[in-house]
Every structure is written in structure tokens, then in C-alpha cells.
Structure 1
């Protein structure tokens, strides 16, 4: 099967970039033909090219005609819908709030998908979809990378914040204070802390408690850590056998973080550490989240969509000019943001010169 995957950018160890990387590799290992289209080929894109995977920022460079398109982000989805006129598309929401995850309307989008029920709510609550018009396939963890540790300590000694957002201006501060109160050694892995790791699986097994959310939380649970769901949005709590099903439903993410991430609340969650329960949580989640299980589901989904499309099935939500114009606006927003990012020094010099002239 020829499978085209889209993503607005392939740069940085986060979010959909890693999802696309792992998905592409897994599909190719199964003998599928996979290529990737992205408007920005960054660090992850270069790594994929080094592994022999085709990734392009110009659709004319795609070397096959896709049977199905696994689409992320409205800007790149609109690109492929305009270029490939007769291909079934599955559009995915990974982020409840991102403007790039606002769904495009087109008859060739035969499935609207989400990675959890918070993202599914975006279709229904924010965009007026019927509940039955979107589906959920959960995210995964590559269990070959994130192995279960041999021993889970009866009492925690070391804690980790596993987040790209943690810094000394947000939730890192109360976590530091709470860990100090509980005599826990605390480390941080992530972009904002200046300690980003390309291979976090080599480090997670060293920690008893890990503060994380979403996929980082699942990876941490898989290693046998006691995981507390927390980030700049707030605090959910320690993942336990009692709340695991509910937390999984909402991808261990923003929907759950209803409490303030203050020192007192964090200490309360640390004190819920229970080695036996943590081991049960890890075993339960490892039986559900392996990448091979989820990719099996995706392949069945792809084949059903291709078969249905060939029989004449089309999407329910047709083209709307307001939707089209919104996505076009997002396209120019993306172009401007990346231009400013790549030319920040030039802009700084220009503004400084303008300020001097105003002062003369």
C-alpha cells in the first residue's frame, strides 16, 4: 500500500513529529510504501532521510501516487487535497487547541480521527460534528525502546520532570519545593530546561517518580515509574489502577489537569506513591499501548477507507469557503512565523535601527 503522511513540520523531539517518525518506520518494517510531506524539513526529517525514508516539502517530488493519506494539520492537508484529487484522506487531531488542528472540510476526507476523547470533543463541541462522525485511535509507545525496569523501589528516592515546557518561570518551581520537602532528588529533561534528550529511554528507568503528560507520561509509565500528570496548565495527579482507564481516555493530558500545580497539591500526589500499584499500572498499560498493536489498527483502518472510497464512499463534510479561508490564513501565519524565526537577528537589528531613528 502506498501511504502518504503529512505534518506541518518535522523539527524537534516532540508531538506529531515523533509520531510521524515512529509511524513511518513501523509501516515500512511491515513492507508498506511510505513517504512524508512536510512544509518544514528539520531535524527529524533529516534523520528520516538518513534512514532512507522519502520526506519532501514539494509535492511534485513524491514518487508514487498514494492509496491513502494519513494527514496531520490543516495546512498540509489542504495542500495534498489540492494536489491529489482522487485519494481518500484520514485527518487527525492531536491537539485540542492548536489552530493547525482545526479540521478542514472536504469530500475526500473519509475519516476524521483523534488520538483521545479530548481531541474528539473538538470535532463535536468546537466544529459542530455529530459524535458518530469522528473516531479515536490512541497514541502508542515503542516498548522495545521503553523497557520495564527490573525493580520498582518501595520508597521513592529520585524524581524527574520529563517535559519540554518546564522552566524556572512555571510549574518547575513548586515541583522543586515539593521534592525538597519529600527528600527527593530532582532532575529535568526537556527543551526549556536546556537538557533535551534524543534517547530518553536511557534515562527514565533511573527515576521512581516522573512528572509528565501525554506521550511522555505513557513512556514513563511503561518503564515502571510512578507518574504524576502535571505541566504548566495544572495538575491531575498520580496515575493509579483506579484512574488509569479514565486518564488513558484523555491521553494523560490537558483535560485532566484541573488542579493548581502548587507545592501542597504536589506533595499530596507524591505521597500516593505505591510500588505494588505502580507495577500493576505499568503492566496494564504495556498490554495496551505497544506501537505494533496500534499500527495493526491503523492498517485495518487504511484498508477499510481505501475499499470504501473505491466503492464510492465520500466524506460528509464538504468544502466551505469560510473553512478554506481560515486554513489559508493559517498557511500565511506559518510562513510568517518561520520567516521571523529564521531571520530573528535581522529583525532585531532592523528594529534597533528604527528605534534609534525615532530617538534622533
Structure 2
């Protein structure tokens, strides 16, 4: 048995139940079960951090809290990663790239990073096109599912009867309506929605997924749904990747059922209907069986342990000059500076816009007050005019009545 390691895992946040956060959670709990000592670090903590704490995994937002240097750093997201690498400058690092688009996934170059891990072929492209990263440093480990949590469901029906939109991005204010319409066109009336944007976050999706025949999802969510045995349509606001079948599952898995796959078709009702038309219960079962063979968390942890121990062994006896670390840190700050400055400019413009909005609101309030005053003045004038007219009419009526009485009175009848 290999010796236990103290592993510091970094992430942009440990608040929301999103992809890399849940990845870290599963890995940390798996490492703990294997006798290792995981510690999770992020400057933004929340519900997920509390959940990890409840599982007896230390969670910190200040690196000074960790009094003993870790044996290895499992680095995700450049701000937290670089903070950890500079705080523990002698610790070897395994650095992860989880995405093509997010700014926090931007790879960094630092002498302590011995291995870069891409979660799919597209992330490998991002690493390969980053100056300073050698191709022999890169490994690709495709994502996993905790098969103990995500148990197989009963066999799918011949015709789908229910669907789930499983996404942190989907809501009835964006593309969920398109999916509902496509499902109705295929005779599927029950369409439910879970995720952050819809306000329906479900901490235990493994309990819900067996209720649905079709799941609309991407990446981790798609993988979990397939492991349960649901038919999966890869989709999000990027587009429609189509129905996962035994013919395309290997290709889609290599791209993590992610953004590149969703360039296949535009996000439109017709694209979704076309994907649904390929539903085949028997084929979905083949997909599920293959995913359960290929994407087991325990097999993944076996590979990850090898990377950790390899990094520790490689670093032993190796001397890295302090100057190279200082230069790497300087290069990082140089690359980061434009991002920070752009953000500062955005905040400045936002502050100026907010001031203009406040000024316009004040002017609007003044105009409303003036309008109210004018309306009050007009109402008073109208009332006074009405009273004035009323008094004239009253006097004229009284005079007319007196004149009528005078004309019809006894004194004037004989004349």
C-alpha cells in the first residue's frame, strides 16, 4: 500500500454546486476513503464548502491556516492555484484544466507544475497552445461518475414519457421553453427543470434521475444521467449536440459532452425534435453500460494517485532555482494585469453608469414632483372656477326667479 499524502486541492469557488466544484468534492471524498489527507482551498466558500467540512474534509480560505506544507497540490483555476504555489514554493503540483472558455481556466506556467491534466481533448488543445507547456507534461483523464451514488434505473420504455432539463444555465426565461415545445411535439408532456438558474437546486440528483426517460444536459450532468440509464440529449445555450448513441458516445466522451459538441446544430425547436426522434431504449441501455465501464470514479482515483506519487518522486532531489519561480510569478502577473485593468475599467464604467442612473432618477423624481404640483394647481383652479361659475349661475337663477314672480304677481296681471 502506498503512503498517504496530504493533498491541497484548489478551486475558484466552493460555494455553488457546479462542475469543477463537484469534481473536487468527489475527488476529495474519494481520496479520504483511501486514507489520504485532502484539504480544500478557495477564497469563495459557501454551501459546498460546508458540506465538505461535514464530511471531515478541512476547508480553508486562508493558506496561512495550513500549518504543514502539503505533499502535493492538486491545482484548479489560476488565482487560487498560483496563490497556493507561491505559498508552498517547494511542493510539486498537478495542474488541471477543466474548460475551454472560462477565464478562471486559463492555464499558468510555473516550475513546480510537473503534470498538466486535461479533462477532455478540447482542454488538451488549450494546454498545447499555451506557451511554456510541453506536450510531454500533458495527460488527459476523461471525467468520471461515482457509480455507488448513480445506480442503474429500471429499463426505459419504448416511447419516452418524461424528460428532465438538468442544467445550471437553463430557465423558463431562456431556452427551457424550446425544450418543452420540442417535447410536446414528440408527445412528452412531463418536462421538469433543475439547476441554479431555475432556482431548483437539487443536492442529490441521483435520487431524481431514475424518474426520467430523457435528460437534456451537458458535461458532468450528461455523464451522470447516462450512468443511471437515461437517454441523453447534449444541449445548453451553446447549441444542440444531439442524442448520445452507441455510435457517437466515444467521440462525444472525448469532448466531455461539452461546448465543441454543441456546435453540431443551433439551439432551436427543430434541432431538439430531430434529436428526440432518434430515441431508442435498447441503444440507450448500451450507452449506459459502456459509460459505467469507462467512467468509474474508483478507476479514476487509481490514475490520480499514480500522478500524485509520480509528482512527489520526480520532485525529490530536484532543485528548482528561486529565480525561475520569481520569473514565472512575474510573467503570471504580467499576463494577469490586462485582465485586472479591464475589470477595473468595467467597474469604473459601471460606477459612472450607476451615477448617471441615480442622477436621472433624481431628475425623474423632481419632474414627478413638479407634475404633481401642476396637477394639484390645476385641480384647485378647476375647483375655484367651478365654484365661481356656480356662484354666478346661482345669482342669475335667483334673479330670474324673482323676475318671474314679479311678472306673474297680482300687481301685473291686470296691466
TM-score by length of 2: 0.79
Provide closer, same or farther for how the CA distance between residues 349 and 106 of structure 1 changes in structure 2, counting only shifts above 3 A.
closer
The one-character-per-residue Cα deviations of 1:170-210 (angstroms, maximum 9, x if unpaired) are: 33222111101111121111111121111111111111111
Count of aligned positions: 355
Tell me what 1:240 maps to. 245
Tell me what 1:276 maps to. 282
Which of 294, 297, 312 lines up with 2:318 in the alignment? 312
Are the aligned partners of 2:154 and 2:210 in contact in 1 as well (CA < 8 Å)? no
3-state SS in 1 of match to 2:116: strand
CA positional deviation for 1:356 = 4.0
Matches within 5 A, 1:1-360: 1-125=5-129, 127=131, 129-184=133-188, 185-258=190-263, 259-312=265-318, 319=328, 321-327=330-336, 353-357=358-362
Are the aligned partners of 1:75 and 1:328 in contact in 2 as well (CA < 8 Å)? no
Are the aligned partners of 1:87 and 1:108 in contact in 2 as well (CA < 8 Å)? yes
Larger strand fraction of residues? 1
CA positional deviation for 1:288 = 1.2
Q: Alignment RMSD, CA only?
A: 2.9
Unaligned runs of 5+ in 1: 340-346
3-state SS in 2 of match to 1:159: strand
Which one has a bigger Cα radius of gyration?
2
Are the aligned partners of 2:114 and 2:137 in contact in 1 as well (CA < 8 Å)? no
Question: Which structure's relative contact order is higher, taking Cα pairs within 8 Å and 6+ residues apart?
Answer: 1
3-state SS in 2 of match to 1:254: coil
How far apart, CA to CA, are the structure 2 residues paired with 1:324 and 1:102?
A: 13
3-state SS in 1 of match to 2:42: strand
Are the aligned partners of 1:2 and 1:64 in contact in 2 as well (CA < 8 Å)? no
Are the aligned partners of 2:109 and 2:132 in contact in 1 as well (CA < 8 Å)? no
3-state SS in 2 of match to 1:135: strand
How far apart, CA to CA, are the structure 2 residues paired with 1:82 and 1:331?
A: 19
Unaligned runs of 5+ in 2: 367-415
TM-score by length of 1: 0.90
The one-character-per-residue Cα deviations of 1:223-247 (angstroms, maximum 9, x if unpaired) are: 1111010000000111111111101
